[in-house]
Chain A
């Protein structure tokens, strides 16, 4: 190092001040990292959630998104058969979502019911027990919260009802089902009591059997890259349906969460401004204190370029130290904030707001480093422009 790192060694001269600055930068860096993770993380997490079981395309009633409304589409069996004829399609299944009821002791409990086709399902993973067979019209799968709510375990029989009569709170349709397995429903929010049975049984409970009504169809294509092409083909084949690939759904989602992104941009910008002010202020104070030293260095032949480089290096090192600490802090706070946000009702428990990714870490680190160097520009300019003779005269008095 040409300058022997005199500027860096200077950081150790005011340890408390340097430590406080590093702490301040770390907080700003943590905030920036969280905002970077938030701005891209929601979409990434949403896309991962949609692809959790490898299904690339959703077909819903025209003008709706999956489970966005209670609208259903009819003729599900015919549609599924038609879709499965496409050679690019690996699997296709129908899903009906509806409210279900049951009783525990004398209390009525409300549940969410999934009607599924076990041979082509994209909604759950089995945690214990057995999966349903395609023709198992007497079996049911429970989520853990549903099992707790119903006090039911594997092999127990539970009576489920659909379509309550609002006047007398009695069900028009009831069906006794045996618990075959405990599953984790991919799209359930935390603590959601959900149950699932084969589609015909659920359609009967929901009164949707006539007309073969379902909430949505899910399609898995053989090659990931063909998803957009297959979606376009399905859109042409079924103009009465809304056809969305995962990319389409992510785009819709992004539009809905545009305020979230704006908020993250604003907060990220604020954290950068705070970083610039912190580093700029610290280095300006340091340079002002060292003007005599700097004038001496210039007098003995140290170039402006060396002086500028040392000050910029000092800014970069402060930023690096603060950023390293900030990344750890940011990851910890992201985990904490995520646990709060994902406990909001209506959000899938598997969903994440803050997704740590290599590119977000790199982006945050590079932006911070650049900010640190930029923040050091003014103090570096001050140092380089210090009039040598006048400064030495002032120092001597």
Chain B
């Protein structure tokens, strides 16, 4: 099979014309997110160009230090993205999220690389893109899980206060909210697994096929990464919520999640 066809810069730039269609739809529907669209497109371009140069350098000079540093950067960036969307979290909860992301992704990544793909742990060609997919999914799962957790607690504030007043352990009060949030966080990943191959050809598989990999090999990678991503989402959300909920009450079992300060 042939590798992916080279795209010349001029032809590549043509893809940006599609943004005009999005702008037209936004204008027609009075969606005032033009600035966000432009900023997002620009940021994506700049970030990916930088990533492309850095990855090219790392692939040409494979060093465990470079791979580790890149993964560490991804941990910090993913954590930052989650925290910036969940400003209500207290400082201990924030640390829990950082730890959960790292402790969920790193062991699964190591298992994937050493046992499934049978590659060196620090091989940047495998370790970096695979961990990127895992962090991306974990980040989405955490955002969704934490959003659901907060919103459900806010909407059931009276229930929480009443149970607290009636002498119920905080753990017992919060556990149903945690379980519901975990379910919600897992739902998109599980849903995409259901539709995969029929509704969509996922990004990783598409990329591999474009670069010349046999579809039969590409599906093996895709199945493996989907299961790994689902595991990572469940572990990171589980870890963050099951460890983080303890930071929402003090030693006098008084709960406070609304006035938490960073």
Q: Do A and B bind each other?
A: no
